[in-house]
């Protein structure tokens, strides 16, 4: 996973995770505790739509320790939330926008960041600021 890096310039504004922090996680429960703390810190934002908040919940619920990301299809998130898959796509675009900068969408193969998901591309959803919170919780 190319988003697991050695050094991060601005941890608060980055979704990259230090590989050393990823190795420090001893259990899945330990990671999920930090992911839910991250969720609570972001879900209270008044500039987010209700659809985006619900989508963010689904992303956090499906966050995986192996990849330090969530990478399910929009249709799966739609099943989880009861929303239409296009509403999920719109919510992800809102969350990944430059103004919000809550998540990053990473293209696994091309090693690039995207503003919106593209059909046929395996994308991962990364949480902005997660590494900083992992450092605070695990150190």
Q: Please list, residue by residue across 113-139, b when 16 or more beta carbons sit within 10 angstroms of its beta carbon and e when fewer do.
A: ebeebeeeeebbbbbbbbbbbbbeeee
Q: Which residue in the block uniquely carries the two structure tokens 């922090």?
A: 21
Closest CA to 57 of 84, 104, 101, 92: 92
Distance of CA 88 to the CA centre of its chain: 14
Write the DSSP string, 54-94: HHHHHHHHT-BTTTTBB---HHHHHHHHT--HHHHHHHHHH
Q: What's the pTM value of the predicted model, to 2 decimals?
A: 0.92
Residue 96 is predicted with a pLDDT of 95
pLDDT in tens for each of the 139 residues of the chain? Answer: 899 999 888 889 999 999 988 888 888 999 999 999 999 999 999 999 999 999 999 999 999 999 999 999 999 999 999 999 999 999 999 999 999 999 999 999 999 999 888 888 899 999 999 999 999 988 7
């Amino acid at each position: 996973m190319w988003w697991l890096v050695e050094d991060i310039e601005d941890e608060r504004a980055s979704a990259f995770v230090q590989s050393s922090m990823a190795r420090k996680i001893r259990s899945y429960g330990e990671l999920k505790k930090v992911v839910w703390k991250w969720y609570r810190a972001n879900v209270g934002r008044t500039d987010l739509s209700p659809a985006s908040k619900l989508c963010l919940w689904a992303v956090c619920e499906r966050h995986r320790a192996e990849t330090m990301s969530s990478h399910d299809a929009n249709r799966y998130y739609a099943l989880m939330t009861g929303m239409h898959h296009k509403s999920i796509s719109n919510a992800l675009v809102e969350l990944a926008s430059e103004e919000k900068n809550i998540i990053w969408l990473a293209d696994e193969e091309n090693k690039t960041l995207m503003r919106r998901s593209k059909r046929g591309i395996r994308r991962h959803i990364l949480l902005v600021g997660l590494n900083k919170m992992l450092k605070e919780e695990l150190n």
